[in-house]
């Protein structure tokens, strides 16, 4: 109960940061192009620095073991989400593939990392990185197939150097590179020189406020009233924000692993729809408005559902 209240307080702070971003965009203090540029800074500079900073921890066999367990549990939680997204295909709609994508993939970068960093510090981010790694692998493989399955399945082209390079490109992002470098530094171990470490820490400290403010700007770009008028959006939001995390919780209750690790991965599973859903919808000819509506409503609802899921866990354990 006490932890749920702490988390609720932190989520409320996140909401206030979202409101700042929302307000700044609505008064035209920033442009849509500026939001894209700030997003690039968060994704390609700040978040990688946060990841590198967490892997500068001293090597601990227990933490290393928990990290390996975290990879497995992250894959398990995504599998649960994938099964639920498959079973949730109810009603006639042209957006089934998009909806399944929105149910499966959480906003683990923009929402989870700032929240977990604020609540658990570098240990929480250390464990969150396991989910982030699995997320990137799944989203750039199964996620692409899910959004573009029929077209992809119908094309069987020979593997060439250019096609191989294109397929590997999504895994060569600053986030994935920082995870690979961070893991190398953690296991060898390698410590950055003090000035470099301090610089990385300074940049990493920007992650929580900057990521949430940018998220608020994205919400400001969407039509919230339109989202509230679409019953289907409520259905997907209910599944993403409550059904999936509660299903993950039901499995985690029977696992005898580190409590912090399980809590971190549960919070990630309870996060709203990934912002990538909007980008993928635009890239693969899906309903961008539907993706934006789901992203907006799940983000707003998660302010209440994330603490609720953790509270339920506290009552059951």
Find the CATH number of the domain harbouring 114.
1.20.1530
Could you give the residue ranges of the DSSP H alpha helices within the chain? Answer: 2-26, 32-41, 47-54, 61-87, 96-104, 113-120, 122-139, 142-154, 161-168, 174-187, 194-204, 207-221, 224-228, 231-238, 244-252, 259-269, 276-283, 288-316
How much is the average pLDDT of 12-29?
Answer: 90
Sequential DSSP letters for 219-288: HHHS-HHHHHT-HHHHHHHHIIIIIHHHHHHHHHTT--S-HHHHHHHHHHHTS-B-THHHHHHHHTT--H
How much is the average pLDDT of 5-17?
Answer: 82
How much is the average pLDDT of 275-291?
Answer: 81
Q: Which residues contact 196 (CB under 8 A, 6 or more apart)?
A: none
Residue corresponding to tokens 């498959």: 86
Give burial (CB, 10 Å; 0-12/13-18/19+) of 298.
Answer: buried
pLDDT at 244: 96
How much is the average pLDDT of 82-106?
Answer: 84
Q: ∠ at Cα 296 (291, 302), nearest 5°?
A: 120
Residue 80: pLDDT above 50?
yes
pLDDT at 153: 45
Orientation of helix 2-26 relative to helix 207-221, angle to 10°: 60
On the CB side of 176, how many CA atoms lie within 13 Å of its CA?
Answer: 14
Backbone φ and ψ for 273, nearest 5 degrees, come out as -60, 140
Query: What are 40's two structure tokens?
Result: 């690039």
Q: How many CB atoms lie within 10 A of CB 123?
A: 18
Contact 28, 221 (CB under 8 A): no
Contact 295, 241 (CB under 8 A): no
Which SS3 state, helix, strand or coil, does residue 191 take? coil
Give strand pairing partners of 273: 106
Residue 103: pLDDT above 90?
yes
pLDDT at 150: 52
Chain-centroid distance of CA 171 in Å reads 16
Tens of pLDDT, residue by residue over 255-279, are 999 999 999 999 999 999 988 888 7
Which SS3 state, helix, strand or coil, does residue 114 take? helix
Orientation of helix 276-283 relative to helix 142-154, angle to 10°: 10
* pTM, two decimal places: 0.83
Q: Is the peptide bond before 302 cis (omega within 30 degrees of 0)?
A: no
- Parent domain of 210: 2-316
Residue 217 CA to residue 228 CA, distance in Å, equals: 18
pLDDT at 152: 46
Q: Determine what percent of the chain is predicted with pLDDT higher than 90.
A: 36
- Between the CA of residue 107 and those of 96, 103, 268, 317, what are the distances in Å? 19, 11, 8, 26
Contact 44, 176 (CB under 8 A): no
Residue 156: pLDDT above 60?
no
Chain-centroid distance of CA 43 in Å reads 12
Greater pLDDT, 109 or 145 = 145
Greater pLDDT, 117 or 234 = 234
Query: What are 75's two structure tokens?
Result: 């894959």
How much is the average pLDDT of 243-250?
Answer: 96
In the chain, the number of structural domains is: 1
């Amino acid at each position: 109960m006490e932890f749920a209240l702490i988390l609720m307080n932190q989520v409320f702070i996140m909401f206030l940061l979202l409101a700042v971003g929302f307000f700044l965009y609505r008064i035209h203090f920033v442009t849509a192009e500026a939001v894209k540029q700030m997003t690039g800074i968060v994704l390609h500079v700040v978040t990688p620095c946060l990841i590198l900073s967490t892997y500068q921890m001293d090597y601990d066999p227990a933490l290393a073991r928990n990290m390996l367990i975290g990879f497995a549990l992250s894959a398990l939680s995504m599998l649960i989400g994938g099964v639920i997204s498959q079973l949730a295909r109810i009603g006639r709609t042209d957006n089934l593939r998009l909806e399944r994508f929105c149910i499966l993939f959480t906003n683990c970068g923009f929402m989870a990392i700032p929240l977990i960093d604020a609540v658990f510090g570098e240990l929480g981010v250390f464990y969150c990185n396991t989910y982030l790694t699995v997320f990137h692998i799944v989203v750039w493989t199964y996620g692409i197939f899910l959004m573009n399955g029929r077209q992809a399945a119908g094309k069987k082209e020979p593997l060439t150097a250019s096609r191989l390079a294109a397929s590997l490109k999504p895994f060569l992002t600053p986030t994935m590179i920082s995870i690979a470098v961070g893991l190398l530094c953690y296991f060898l171990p390698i410590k950055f020189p003090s000035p470099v470490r301090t610089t990385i820490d300074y940049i990493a400290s920007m992650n929580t406020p900057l990521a949430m403010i940018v998220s608020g700007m994205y919400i400001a770009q969407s039509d919230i009233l339109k989202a509230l008028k679409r019953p289907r959006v409520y259905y997907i939001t209910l599944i993403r924000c409550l059904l999936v995390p509660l299903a993950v919780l039901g499995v985690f209750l029977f696992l005898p692993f580190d409590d912090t690790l399980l809590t971190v991965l549960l919070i990630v599973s309870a996060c709203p729809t990934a912002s990538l859903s909007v980008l993928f919808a635009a890239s693969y000819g899906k309903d961008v408005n539907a993706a934006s509506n789901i992203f907006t409503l799940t983000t707003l609802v998660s302010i209440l559902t994330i603490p609720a899921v953790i509270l339920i866990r506290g009552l059951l354990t």
